[in-house]
Amino acid sequence: RKEVEQDPGPFNVPEGATVAFNCTYSNSASQSFFWYRQDCRKEPKLLMSVYSSGNEDGRFTAQLNRASQYISLLIRDSKLSDSATYLCVGGYNQGGKLIFGQGTELSVKP
Amino acid sequence: EAGVTQFPSHSVIEKGQTVTLRCDPISGHDNLYWYRRVMGKEIKFLLHFVKESKQDESGMPNNRFLAERTGGTYSTLKVQPAELEDSGVYFCASSQRRLAGVASTDTQYFGPGTRLTVL
C-alpha cells in the first residue's frame, strides 16, 4: 500500500466549476502536509500547507483530518490556468523528507 | 533571488556508463534533497543533506548511487554504472535552516529536474 494515495484522475471540469481532491495517508507519524502543483514537464511547486484547522488561500481551501488520515483540496471557480497535476504530500519531521502521492490530474475546459 | 538550478536538463546515456547530476540550491539553504520520479510512479525521496552531512539516505536505491555535497553548497549525484531502471526525472530541492515555530522555513523549493534516459 502506498503511503500517500490519491485518485489519479483525470478530472475534466468546465471553467467556473468547483472541484475537490482527496488524499489519504497511512503513516500516522506524518507530521506536516502540503499540496504541491506540477505543470507538465515542470518541477513541483508548493500550492499550500495543510492544517487541521483548515486553511484558505483565495479560491483554494485545504483541510486535514488526522483522525481519518485524510486530506482534501477544494478549488472554487476553476480557471483554465488551474489545469495541472496536484500532488498530495506528507512530511515526517519538520525539514525532513517528503512523501508524495502519485498526483491527481486536473483539466479545466472552456 | 535565484531558484534551485540543476544541470544538465537532459542526459541520454547507455547502460553501463556513468552520469553525474548537479544541483545548486538556493543560496543560504542548509537543507538539500534529492528525489526521483520514475515514469508512471510517484516522486520518491532519495536523500537529504544538512549542509555537507548526510542526514537521511534511506531512499538511495543501491550502491551505484553516490551523492556528495562538499562544502555544503552544491551537490552532485553520480550513477555508476547506470542501468535501464535508473531512467527518470531527478529533482533536487532545498530549504532553509529550520526555525522553531516558523512553518515557512520547512518549505522545499524544487529545481527543474534532470531527465535521465538510460538506453
User: Of all helices (H) and strands (E), which one includes residue B20?
Assistant: strand B19-24
| Residue at B37: amino acid letter | R
Verify whether the Cβ–Cβ distance A45 to B111 is below 8 Å.
Answer: no
Among the partner-chain residues B48, B91, B103, the one whose CB lies closest to the CB of A97 is: B48
User: How far is CA A18 from each of CA A59, B13, B59, B96, rounded to the nearest angstrom?
Assistant: 9, 45, 37, 35
**pLDDT on residue A24:** 94
Per CB-CB distance under 8 Å, the chain A contacts of B88 are none
Spell out the per-residue pLDDT of chain B, length 119, in tens.
Answer: 689 999 999 999 999 999 999 999 999 899 999 999 999 899 999 999 999 999 999 999 999 999 999 888 999 999 999 999 999 999 999 998 766 665 555 789 999 999 999 99
User: Is B44 an interface residue toward A (CB < 8 Å)?
Assistant: yes
Going by C-alpha positions, the residue among A49, A54, A51, A19 that lies closest to residue B106 is A49
Q: What CA–CA distance (Å, rounded) separates B83 from B61?
A: 12
CA A71 from chain centre, in angstroms, equals 8
Residue of B nearest to A41 (CA): B112
Residue A95 has pLDDT above 80, yes or no: no
pLDDT at site A34: 92
Residue A61 vs residue A29, higher pLDDT: A61
- Judge: B41–A87 Cβ closer than 8 Å, yes or no: no
Cβ contact B44–A2 (<8 Å): no
Query: Collapsing DSSP states into helix, strand and coil, what is residue B118?
Result: strand
Written as nine digits, the cell of A110 is: 472552456
Instruction: Please list, residue by residue across B40-65, b when 16 or more beta carbons sit within 10 angstroms of its beta carbon and e when fewer do.
Output: eebbbbbbbbbeeeebbeebbeeeeb
Confidence of residue A96 (pLDDT cuts 50, 70, 90): confident
**B112 in A contact zone (CB under 8 Å):** yes
Of A32, A43, A96, the CB nearest to B91: A43
Mutate to test the interface with A, among B34, B36, B43 (most CBs of A within 10 A): B43
Above 60 in pLDDT, residue A57?
yes
pLDDT the model gives residue B107? 85
Q: Of A28, A94, B111, A78, whose CA–CA distance to A86 is shortest?
A: A78
